[in-house]
Each structure stands twice: as C-alpha cells, then as structure tokens.
Amino acid sequence: MSDADPSVRLSRALRANAERLGGFAERVGYLPEIGSTNDKAIELALGGAPEGTTVVAGAQTAGRGRRGHVWSSPAGAGLYASVVLRPPALAPLVTLMCGVAIADAMRKVAGLEVALKWPNDLVVEHGGRRKLGGILAEAGTSASGLAHVVVGFGINLRAAPRPDAPPGTVTSIEAEGARVPSLETLMVEVLAALVSWRAAMVAGRTGAILDRWRVLSPSSVDAAVELAGAGGPRRGTTAGIDEDGALLVRIDGAIERVVAGVVRWV
C-alpha cells in the first residue's frame, strides 16, 4: 500500500503518537466504507474488544444520529469514527466528556471556535448556529450492569452536498474558512483528548469536565428553546446544566430539568 492510502497514513500517525495515546494507539482499524461505524464497534464490544478499540471509516452508507436521524457521511468529506469505552466511571456524563474532547481537538488542529450544543452537537455560533458534527453514545449491558459505551462521532471536514439537512443548518471546517486537518491528524488529536478527559472522569474530576463543557457551550445559558410535550410545545430559556449533565430550562419562572426528549433552539 502507498502513502496515499488513508490506512497507511493513519497507522503511521498513531505509531508516532503512541506515547500520548497509550493502548488506544494499537486498537484503531480503518475501513474505506461501512454501513455504520457504531454498528461495527458495538459488534466488537459485544465480542469482548477492550477499551480504546476504534473503528474509522472513509464513508458511511447508513450513518445515524440521535433519535434515528440520518447522518450524511460522504467519502472524503469527513471523519467518521466510533470508540469503545468501558467502566469504571462511564455514565451519565460520557457524551458531555466526549464533546469536550472532540471540540478541544478540533479547536487545536483547525483554529476554529467550535462550540457545543446540548446534548451532542458540535457547532459554530457566529453568524447563526450551524452544525459541524455530532456524537452518538450507545450503551451495552451485561448481567453485572453497564458493560460498555460505544461513542460514535462524525465531523464535517469539507463542503459536500448534505440532502438530509435543511439549507444553512450544516457546515464544515472548510466552509468556515478554517484549516482543514488531515483525517489522521484530527483522529490522533481526538483520541489524545479522549485519553486525557477519560482519565479525568475515572479520577472523579467530573467538575472539571462540566466546567469545560460550560465554557464551550454558550447556548446553554440564556438561549431561547422549545420543549416538546404531550400538551404541545412550551418555550423557555436555557439556564445551564446540573451536576448530572441535565439541561436546565426556565419556563414561567420555574426551572425544569431536561434529561432526554426533543429540545429545539429557537
């Protein structure tokens, strides 16, 4: 295989950064195309794959986001990957922790002010909010309880047609005029940040994770939102997140915790 092969470049970058990545550096596999990196990583996790096992793809034919939404994953336009994480100290902040790690990595390599939108979106806020990427965490259990979490993420590197998204709602690092990193450079930095923030989580430093998330998420305070409900939508304003990562929303003077469900920024 030549140096132009993405798997060769990725392997070389992982070896060069092995000291920073620890065991994560040895457990990354690349596929030119796959249905879903999350599906493959879940399969590997159920088969006993260790923490740090990572599936990276050049394209996905069945990429997905939260609540069954389609995630457009065209070849050459993004980084699509899923990482296996295992106990201890996984839930409930794993999605927020991964968001912090990925946003920090993107800021470092692209020089772009990537922000976070609760619970799992990577966005840019200037000139209107546009989505750069997303995170999908899927947990698996065993007889003894939570066994693993597979964290998948897609990051839009280059501009490409995205027919599944309304116009003006999705962007890419390229479209924002920032430095477009190579797939291997961004993957290494994401894994390095995950290793660091994962260690903070295991050590019980959840306050540091939440504090960093709050800094990266301006829309978590004083932003207008609409909550879906059986009685119809209700409007309020965001009031931060609590220690469990739930979004706080002020509606008619009262604070409500939002753990799941549909939140629409308006």
Residue 33 in tokens: 């195309």
Tens digit of pLDDT for each residue in 18-30? Answer: 999 999 999 999 9
Taking residues 227-247, what's their average pLDDT?
A: 92
Q: What backbone phi and psi angles, to 5 degrees, belong to 13?
A: -65, -40
Taking residues 168-195, what's their average pLDDT?
A: 95
Residue 162 in tokens: 């995205």
| Residue labelled with tokens 């979004």 | 247
Q: What backbone phi and psi angles, to 5 degrees, belong to 70?
A: -75, 140
For the cut 80, the answer to whether the pLDDT of residue 207 exceeds it is yes
- Of the candidates 149, 143, 48, which has an alpha carbon nearest to the alpha carbon of residue 94? 149
- The answer as to CATH 2.30.30.100 being correct for domain 219-265 is yes
Q: What is the mean pLDDT of the chain?
A: 90
- Of the candidates 124, 179, 186, which has an alpha carbon nearest to the alpha carbon of residue 154? 186
For the cut 90, the answer to whether the pLDDT of residue 41 exceeds it is yes
Taking residues 205-219, what's their average pLDDT?
A: 96
Q: Would you tell me how many other CB atoms lie within 10 Å of the CB of residue 35?
A: 14
For the cut 60, the answer to whether the pLDDT of residue 68 exceeds it is no
Start-end ranges of CATH 3.30.930.10 in the chain? 6-216
| Residue labelled with tokens 């999605």 | 95
Residue 143: pLDDT band (50, 70, 90) is low
Tens digit of pLDDT for each residue in 254-263? Answer: 999 998 777 8
Fold of 6-216: BirA Bifunctional Protein; domain 2 (3.30.930)
Taking residues 67-73, what's their average pLDDT?
A: 63
Task: Tell me the CA distances in angstroms from 52 to 44, 93, 119, 182, 186, one per residue in order.
Answer: 11, 18, 23, 21, 16
Tens digit of pLDDT for each residue in 101-129? Answer: 999 999 999 999 999 999 999 999 988 89
Start-end ranges of CATH 2.30.30.100 in the chain? 219-265
- Please, which residues have CB within 8 angstroms of residue 30's CB and are 6 or more apart in sequence? 6, 7, 10, 11, 56, 57, 58
Taking residues 81-104, what's their average pLDDT?
A: 88
Q: Kindly state the greatest CA–CA separation across the chain.
A: 63
The rounded percent of the chain whose pLDDT value lies above 90 is 72
Q: Which residue has the higher pLDDT, 139 or 82?
A: 82
Residue 125 in tokens: 């806020």
